[in-house]
């Protein structure tokens, strides 16, 4: 009697497990693959890791420049807002924008030199 129950239930269990696993298999096929570094994979694991490190440093440099740009814009906007209250002049606004632009150029140049060393 015990074997009679197993022969009737086992195919149903196998079908249920297979049906439950089917979505997982389809999701596994759709996973994205990791992208190679911009400098290529290199000739070994260490060179590949170094190339990924270079990409990470470039991303951080981009974030630093973007934050500098946002900071300059924020400060210039603050100066512009104070013109209307009479606390600042248009000359001070122009000086703020000019010095901010020079700081951005120097920051971009320094980060370009630093990433060139890598």
pLDDT value at residue 10:
62
49 lies in the same domain as 7 = no
Q: Are residues 67 and 27 in the same domain?
A: no
d(CA 10, CA 103): 73
- The structure tokens listed for 24 are 């997982």
- Let me know whether 68 and 82 are in one domain: yes
Instruction: Provide the domain count of the chain.
Output: 2
Q: What is the pLDDT of residues 3-42, one digit of tens each?
A: 555 566 666 776 777 666 666 655 556 677 888 888 888 7
Is the same domain home to 25 and 50? Answer: no
The answer to whether the pTM exceeds 0.85 is: no
Q: Could you list the residue range(s) of the whole structural domain that residue 82 is in?
A: 37-117
Q: How would you label 14-30 residue by residue, b for 16+ Cβ within 10 Å and e otherwise?
A: eeeeeeeeeeeeeeeee
Q: pLDDT tens for residues 65-116?
A: 999 999 999 999 999 999 989 999 999 999 999 999 999 999 999 988 888 7
């Amino acid at each position: 009697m015990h074997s009679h129950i197993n022969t009737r239930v086992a195919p149903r269990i196998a079908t249920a497990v297979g049906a439950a696993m089917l979505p997982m298999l389809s999701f596994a096929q759709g996973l994205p693959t990791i992208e190679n570094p911009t400098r290529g994979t290199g000739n070994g694991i260490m060179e590949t890791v170094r190339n990924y490190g270079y990409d990470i440093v470039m991303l951080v440099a981009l974030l630093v420049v973007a934050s500098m740009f946002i900071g300059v814009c924020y400060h210039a906007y603050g100066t512009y807002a104070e013109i209307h209250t009479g606390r600042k002049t248009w000359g001070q606004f122009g000086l703020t924008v000019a010095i901010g632009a020079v700081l951005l150029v120097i920051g971009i140049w320094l980060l370009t030199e630093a990433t060139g060393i890598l």
